[in-house]
Structure 1
Amino acid sequence: MIILVLEDIELDLLNYVNYDFATKFNVLPIRRYNNGVIIICSEIIDKVINDLKIMFNDNIVPYIHTKETVAENICHYYEIFKSRQNLSEDNLEDVYDDTLRLAIDMKVSDIHIEPNKSGANIRFRRNGELELFKCVSPRVYKFISTKIKVMSNLDITEKRISQDGKITYKYNDFKYNLRVATLLTSKGEKISIRIHNNKNEYEDISDLGFGEEQIKIIERYLSKKNGMIILSGPTGSGKSTTLYKFIESINSERISIYTIEDPVEYEIEGINQSSINEKAGLTFNEISRNILRHDPDVLMIGEIRDEETAKVAVSSSVVGHKVFSTIHAKDSLSVITRLIDLGVNEFLAIDALDLVISQRLVKKLCNCKKKKSIDEMIVFNKKYEKAKYYSPHGCEKCKFTGYSGRILLSEILIIDDIIKEMLLKKKPMAYIREYINTKYFEYSFSQNVETLINSGEVYIKDLEILR
């Protein structure tokens, strides 16, 4: 039996790799070195190496040993590690802080803490995809889940009922708003954290990723004193970021801006922001009724999600206020039918709406990208012939993922008088879409997709699955 010398192994590295993971894939982290974390393994499996890179947020340097040698060392050192694992409260605090700080550094949008038989998996959503970050013991899971619930003012004794809360976390002189949600599963209480920050990452609207012609349209409608602008798209598509930048761009001493949010995600100086708090009696209805007594010029509703929010948004626009909001809808034209489905009068919904912006976020290729031949495919109703397109490759800079951040894919629809008339006359949707594709094609998803593919910034297959 070959056992490596204890002094050669940094036992704290075993905090990052769950014993079950180590034994399943026969890998053992040894020490940190200049070029990354050294591991021993019996074979190199790309997916396992990538998982370890995410766990350590570092490069992985593998050394091959026999299967028996690696397995024996795993048993030996995890036994020593377990005997020394009577962690102090300070060590556990480090796990909590290290997880949040690393997530922020990696520009993670969501953290998932998911219990299992051996403790819990902590996964990060980065660039729109979930990645395994760390496996933790039952002791660490219990501490970190309790800590999160305490910090977000949740009832730590209540696990059967889902709860929502908020943590204000300070890191590197910036405040981050963490939205916490719990859910009881068959394996225990899962905790999800959505990370928002108050950093001004975008100087102006042009930094958001819209095309030049799209920006001209947006600025024209932002300058109007009334009407309604709605952003649509799935969760995590950047709607809130765009919405806040729109509000910031019109913010001035000459107008009175109010928001109703659940909760406030970004704090903006000079804007009256209110959070819904059902427990304290601050319902949407109560806040909206009070705001209308305060002479508002602009009203921003965080999300239209039911009949109540839909009717307040539409009626506020009809009586002369400027209204901004978000909604979940398949595409721009579907926003109107969504409002009607929520119980808004058809005529009022059509009359109130000025501009709809639908958006998605797609992964942006790292500069290490390479061209490869891809078969013919249909993307956003357009046929792309078999050809060579830029594809993800992977390097140290992008942690071998092939991607570097995300880029905006958007569509803008002006609800002009002709569209309103066709909707009121109940013209077929296919007929209305034909008119839109003829008049507003340059602002459409299809045109935006073609531009992104030709620029080489995105992988064509990533766009294919968005629809």
Structure 2
Amino acid sequence: MKQMRRRLGDLLVETGLLSEDQLQATLAEKAAGQKLGDALLQRGLITEQQLIEVLEFQLGIPHISLYRYPFDTKLFTLIPKETAKRNLVIPLKKEGEKLFVAMADPMDFFTVDDLRLSTGFHIETAIATKDDIIRAINKYYDNNDGLDDLIGISTPVMETVQEESLKEADSPVIRLVNQLLSNASANKASDIHIDPQETKVVIRYRIDGILRVERVLPKHMQNVLTARIKIMANLDITENRTPQDGRIKPILIFILLTFVFLLCQPFLARRSSCVYLIWAAH
């Protein structure tokens, strides 16, 4: 759908959400390079929901929730991760010569033009919240980094993985655990549940008090996954019957909380472990 290139400030004034004086004052005082929408949100003159409603109802730009959206991860190669993070944009789907993207600011026509030139597609925009886009980027970009390496290893080989390989910086296991932690931080999860079941390992995040499935891993990854976390927390990786607790110092600079507490509680009936990671301030 073609959209008229109208200015956001004019739209907000026309709808009565902003006065002309407020608009001009914000334009004069906002930081260099700061987008008008961000400046208005920062000053508390509008809410993100009001901004979404104006763009949705005045310009017909659809609002989309990214929670459980069926992303086609092959499209992520069209928009590099750094571009996605810098411009708060993520690809949704492709139809013929059209590439549909979700943006926090779909009126950022410079970014839309850049995407058109870099991808070769006509860009169709939808609006999503800033938090939704950041969480989706952190969850899905490089989502399988190292995971294919682990899945491809047979169960007998996986069981012989040495402790040293769980400490090597480029180990797929380490990359996977780091990714689980960073995604939990981006999603503001209060804890992570690694729940071993009969044929699989289910990773769940508790977000706003609700447990949500983050991903499902093959059963044979259970031991190396829990062993890596035990090593990080200075626990005994050979102990599978007695509960253990420890502390993990931050390994990722963008984890906002200072420490992670870990409780490893055996499920004796299944002779396996369920790991709870609880974020706590220092």
Same fold (TM over 0.5): no
Normalising by structure 1, what TM-score?
0.26
Q: Rg: which structure is higher?
A: 1
Higher strand residue share: 1
